[in-house]
Amino acid sequence: MADNDKKVRVAVVGASGYTGGEVVRLLLEHPGVELAFLSAERNAGAALGSVHPWLRNHPAAAGLRFRPLAELEDVDMAFGCLPTGALPEQLPVIAERAERVLNLGGDFRLRESGDVESYYPKTAGNPPQEDFAYYVPELSPSVPKSRFISLPGCMAVASVYALYPLFAASLVEHRVVVDAKTGSTGGGRGSGEPPAERSGNFRVHKLHGHRHAPEISQAIAEFTGTAMDLRFATHSLDVSRGIMVTAYTDLRPGVTPLDVKRAYAKAYVGKPFVRVRTAPRAPQDFPMLKAVVGSNVAEVAVAVRDGQCVAVAALDNLVKGAAGQAIQSMNLICGFDETAGLPTTAVSP
């Protein structure tokens, strides 16, 4: 699709939401893309800059408006940014007009029908006409050829980046505890949480039954061939963007700290957007939100003592956890440089 003469024509479906707006923000700077269509539901008809004021000063934003999905035109790539449960109904319209679909939502990530019924009940009775490939750019063996592609969940992929090297090299026992903390944009624009209740607070989100738990187990099994016994709890942070996960495991007998260090180096060598923090000592050496927010980078680190292994990962839920991951995937699918249009520096202080 990508050559010098022809830009990739892109639709952002659900462009007035948080992830859709972030896809638009990043694609406005992408050299090989034409933003051909932006959809919204309640915001259909509104100008881009009135819904996302942070985009209004880009020269190319001036003429852009949201349109109803029913008016979708032919595009090379559609980014699906609809709330959980909305895609199955809208997929026939998108599939008719888009050559390929990169879906940021969770509807078609899980393979076990029992898991789909439990965690995505609106999706269960409405399977897609073709399977969705589950794609993590750093871990999937190849770029998928499928028309329909599911990208990973934000807390799921942070957890998978933290755990993958340990399971890929068979260094740890199967029991894993993952504690994940996420910022407020993780719930989408329609979450309805009063800001005053988030502000100055740190609270539980879900101690059991988060839908990213089966996804983490599925991804680790798919990419390493290992079945995990996972405990997964989530918490809500008083920040707008960012996810931090802490994963606790026990090393298998005979595994050394050097084995662990080598496993992380090997897993992410040559991967521009997963950066291992080697030999962190001071707190600021470890992965942290202020090093990743605004960027497409996931930071990872691991520490071992007395057979106990603690791995951490931090990323921006809207960038590496959603829009940036999707654009990185588009880059690889369309033959662009993997890093095109994607920031590696954070916005801080």
Catalytic residue numbers, as ranges: 154
d(CA 84, CA 88): 9
**118 binds ligand NAP per the rule CB under 6 A:** no
Site string for ligand NAP, 32-61 (x = CB under 6 A): --------xxxx------------------
Of the ranges 94-102, 129-137, 197-205, 317-325, which one interacts with ligand NAP (CB under 6 A)?
Answer: 317-325
**242 binds ligand NAP per the rule CB under 6 A:** no
Alpha-carbon distance values, 90 to 77, 106, 217 (Å): 15, 14, 28
Q: Give the nearest distance from C-beta 223 to ligand NAP in angstroms.
A: 19
**322 binds ligand NAP per the rule CB under 6 A:** yes
d(CA 32, CA 6): 8
**313 binds ligand NAP per the rule CB under 6 A:** no
Closest CA to 68 of 39, 47, 93: 39
Q: Within 130-169, which residues bind ligand NAP (CB under 6 A)?
A: 153-154
Which of residues 8, 10, 33, 69 is near ligand NAP by CB under 6 A?
Answer: 69
**328 binds ligand NAP per the rule CB under 6 A:** no
Of the ranges 57-65, 71-79, 273-281, 313-321, which one interacts with ligand NAP (CB under 6 A)?
Answer: 313-321
Handedness of CA 87, 118, 147, 11 (dihedral sign): positive
Of the ranges 183-191, 224-232, 248-256, 286-294, which one interacts with ligand NAP (CB under 6 A)?
Answer: 183-191
Query: What is the DSSP track for 176-187?
Result: EEEEEEE-GGGG
Which residue number has the CB closest to ligand NAP? Answer: 17
Q: What region does 87 belong to: left with phi over 0, alpha with psi -120 to 50, or beta?
A: alpha
Of the ranges 27-35, 103-111, 274-282, 302-310, which one interacts with ligand NAP (CB under 6 A)?
Answer: 103-111
SS3 assignment, position 218: helix
- With contact defined as beta carbons under 8 Å apart, do 88 and 126 qualify? yes
Which of residues 9, 10, 11, 14 is near ligand NAP by CB under 6 A?
Answer: 14
What's the token pair of residue 10?
A: 């892109």
- With contact defined as beta carbons under 8 Å apart, do 93 and 87 qualify? no
- How many of the other CB atoms lie within 10 Å of CB of 154? 28
Nearer to ligand NAP, 15 or 166 (CB): 15
Query: What is the DSSP track for 38-81?
Result: EB-STTTT-BHHHH-GGGTTSGGGTT-B-B-GGGPPPEEEEEE-
Which of residues 2, 82, 94, 255 is near ligand NAP by CB under 6 A?
Answer: 82
Q: Give the nearest distance from C-beta 34 to ligand NAP in angstroms.
A: 20
Nearer to ligand NAP, 12 or 260 (CB): 12
Residues in contact with ligand NAP by the rule CB under 6 A:
14-20, 40-43, 69, 81-84, 86, 90, 104-106, 153-154, 185-186, 188-190, 317-318, 321-322
